[in-house]
């Protein structure tokens, strides 16, 4: 379920998110074609599992979101 890449190359399908690091400084997730409640669920789960310490969800377009966590990449 976890994949470290520069940019996300796979499209998300319902219930099968791809975790990716899009740069070398900030932990981010990119969700396309997913409802907000599912984005929030996966953001909470990733935050708790990886101890990321908070996040913000940004809407880029309809059902497309970016989650930026309050932790730098180690």
Rounded CA gap, 37 and 65, in Å? 11
Burial of 29: CB neighbours in 10 Å, binned 0-12, 13-18, 19+: buried
Rounded CA gap, 14 and 2, in Å? 16
pTM passes above 0.85? no
Sign of CA dihedral 33, 2, 39, 69: negative
pLDDT tens track for 56-70: 999 988 999 999 998
pLDDT score of 20: 55
Closest by CA position to 56, among listed 64, 74, 44, 48: 44
Domain map of the chain by residue range?
A: 1-74
């Amino acid at each position: 379920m976890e994949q470290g890449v520069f940019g996300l190359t796979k499209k998300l399908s319902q219930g099968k998110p791809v975790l990716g690091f899009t740069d070398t400084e900030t932990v981010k997730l990119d969700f396309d074609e997913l409802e907000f409640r599912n984005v929030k669920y996966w953001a909470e789960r990733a935050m708790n599992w990886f101890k990321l310490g908070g996040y913000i969800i940004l809407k880029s377009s309809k059902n497309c979101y970016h989650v930026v966590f309050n932790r730098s990449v180690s």
